Amino acid sequence: MFIRYVRDRERCVDCGFCETVIHCPSPKCCIGCESCFLGCPYDARKPVSDTQPRDKCRIVIDGLEFEVPERITVKRALEQAGYRFTRFPEKDALFAPCNTGGCYSCSIIINGELKPSCHVGVENGMIIETAVEGRTPYRIVEGFSPHSVGGVGTPYWLKMGIGYIEVAAFVAGCNLRCGTCQNYHVTYNSSGLPLTPTEAAANLTYMRKRFHVDRMAISGGEATLNHRWLLEYFRELKRLNPDSRARLHLDTNATVLTRKRIDDLIEVGVTDIGPDLKALRVETFQKLTNIEDRELAEKYLETSWEAVKYIADNYYPEKVFMGVGIPYNKFIHPNMDEIYEMGLKIADINPEIQVCGLDYRPEFRKRDIIQPTPEEMKKVKKTLEAAGLKKVIVQTSRGHIGP
Ligand code: FES
């Protein structure tokens, strides 16, 4: 069965997001890529069954000829040819975690050029190669900007000052589907220019000099999705910033941050990591992230907690600074029970780990919620401290409250 996505006139507010931030790879005839459906801030795209007759396309994949229907993505054509795509990195599978054309993890070579298979329509005569090792990776970088409070992995004593403390690169594409996405202009951006790691590292190094800071961060979207790109990016950033004052900071949801990936990142120079732990219970995780596949949600959640423990046991605090984020809003946590349990679990790993409560405000598709008040966030802080944590900070509408 084929699906195409159409505008839901009842919901559409003509915000222009689907024309300026999201890049439609085939405006004249929908190829069912989903990027407008997943990224519309007003949930104003709906799937309808596409029963129009289709011709066949003849394509070549890794040297073999295949016949596939027209008006589908290259990713779908590959699936029809027997290739497997996953949303958690696995050996012998192609990795397609964002499915919105931002992360370029699903990139393959199409007619000689590296392109994201989830965001390109199949065409008659296409030559596709799935082996990309040795090719320079790309990723959409939404932008670079200076920051006065930093991210989850920024030490609290820096957040309390004035002026810029960090510069950050923001990369597109995320594997989660949070209705409260606090950075959705970045996450669903598929219209930006794809950059090589070298280009991105050079831009951020320039920003460091321009804003006279030593901290260089990467956030998103989810920075860890395209591992090859990220490793080359940090390697180049380190080469351009060899001085001991330079701090290389990664903010992440940690859901695909496996032990091997952590080791790789630290080896190329990462000094600060900020895992944003979405929840403790899988039901809460699913409610917040809209990952419907329970098995996948469990895998993501388990990987993120394991990442925190692995970093704490092997690298923190000597080699890496780690600050953990916990999102809070009444719609996620009607009471403080799970917050307290998360506090207990982190304190059991190491009570000295910095934990920051994040006040999730109305954003993206969850505009009907109310931003927690500073008083509510103080309650979050007290709850986490009662669980045994020693360095708790909370983000509030009036700034951060420190330990
Ligand atoms: S999965 Fe295709 S670009 Fe991210």
Query: pLDDT tens, 96-125?
Result: 999 999 999 999 999 999 999 999 999 999
Average per-residue pLDDT in the chain?
97
Contact by Cβ (8 Å): 13, 55: no
Q: Is the CB of 99 under 6 A from ligand 1?
A: yes
Helix or strand (DSSP H, E) at 45: strand 45-49
Residue with tokens 């994949």: 61
Give the number of other CB atoms < 10 A from CB of residue 39: 24
- The gap from C-alpha 229 to its chain's centroid, in whole angstroms, comes to 14
Query: pLDDT tens, 257-294?
Result: 999 999 999 999 999 999 999 999 999 999 999 999 99
Contact by Cβ (8 Å): 274, 324: yes
Residue with tokens 């890049």: 23
Q: Is the CB of 187 under 6 A from ligand 1?
A: no
Contact by Cβ (8 Å): 59, 66: yes
Structure-block tokens of residue 207: 């920003």
- Supply the DSSP symbol for 53: -
Contact by Cβ (8 Å): 18, 103: no
Query: For residue 64, what pLDDT band results from cuts at 50, 70 and 90?
Result: very high
Please report the pLDDT score of residue 81 as a whole number: 97
Spatial CA neighbour of 355 closest among 380, 323, 385, 396: 323
Q: Is the CB of 98 under 6 A from ligand 1?
A: yes
Contact by Cβ (8 Å): 97, 293: no
Residue from 85, 119, 142, 177 whose mutation best tests the ligand 1 pocket (most atoms within 8 A of CB): 119
d(CA 115, CA 194): 10
- The gap from C-alpha 331 to its chain's centroid, in whole angstroms, comes to 22
Q: Is the CB of 94 under 6 A from ligand 1?
A: no
Task: List Cα–Cα distances, 9 to 35, 80, 179, 340, in angstroms.
Answer: 18, 33, 21, 43
Query: Ligand 1 centre and the CA of 248: distance in Å?
Result: 25
Q: Which domains does the chain have, with CATH numbers?
A: 3-49 (no CATH), 56-129 (3.10.20.30), 139-401 (3.20.20.70)
Query: For residue 155, what pLDDT band results from cuts at 50, 70 and 90?
Result: very high
Query: For residue 247, what pLDDT band results from cuts at 50, 70 and 90?
Result: very high
Q: Is the CB of 275 under 6 A from ligand 1?
A: no
Structure-block tokens of residue 11: 């919901």
- pLDDT at residue 161 is higher than 90: no
Summarize the confidence of residues 333-345 as an average pLDDT: 97
Q: Which amino acid is at 63?
A: G
d(CA 90, CA 260): 13
Please report the pLDDT score of residue 160 as a whole number: 81
328 contacts: CB under 8 Å, gap ≥ 6: 339, 357, 358, 359, 360, 372, 376, 377, 380
Q: Which atom of ligand 1 is nearest to the CA of 97?
A: 1
Residue from 23, 73, 103, 110 whose mutation best tests the ligand 1 pocket (most atoms within 8 A of CB): 103
- pLDDT at residue 162 is higher than 90: no
- Supply the DSSP symbol for 137: P
Q: What is the pTM of this model?
A: 0.97
Query: Ligand 1 centre and the CA of 312: distance in Å?
Result: 30
Spatial CA neighbour of 200 closest among 266, 265, 141: 141
Structure-block tokens of residue 230: 């990220």
Query: Ligand 1 centre and the CA of 215: distance in Å?
Result: 28
63 contacts: CB under 8 Å, gap ≥ 6: none
Q: Is the CB of 96 under 6 A from ligand 1?
A: yes
- Supply the DSSP symbol for 27: S
- Supply the DSSP symbol for 72: S
**Residue nearest ligand 1's atom 3 by CA:** 101
**Residue nearest ligand 1's atom 1 by CA:** 96
- The gap from C-alpha 62 to its chain's centroid, in whole angstroms, comes to 30
Q: Is the CB of 106 under 6 A from ligand 1?
A: yes
Query: Ligand 1 centre and the CA of 86: distance in Å?
Result: 11
Q: Is the CB of 308 under 6 A from ligand 1?
A: no
Q: Is the CB of 221 under 6 A from ligand 1?
A: no
Q: Which atom of ligand 1 is nearest to the CA of 96?
A: 1
Helix axes 197-211, 227-240, angle to 10 degrees: 40
Q: Is the CB of 355 under 6 A from ligand 1?
A: no
Please report the pLDDT score of residue 50 as a whole number: 95
Task: List Cα–Cα distances, 349 to 164, 263, 302, 308, in angstroms.
Answer: 32, 19, 15, 8
3-class secondary structure, 65:
strand
d(CA 76, CA 196): 26
Structure-block tokens of residue 217: 């961060």
Q: Is the CB of 104 under 6 A from ligand 1?
A: yes
Phi-psi region of 219 (alpha: psi -120 to 50; beta: other; left: phi over 0): beta
Query: pLDDT tens, 166-194?
Result: 999 999 999 999 999 999 999 999 999 89
CA angle 167, 170, 176 (to 5 degrees): 140
Please report the pLDDT score of residue 1 as a whole number: 86
Q: Is the CB of 286 under 6 A from ligand 1?
A: no
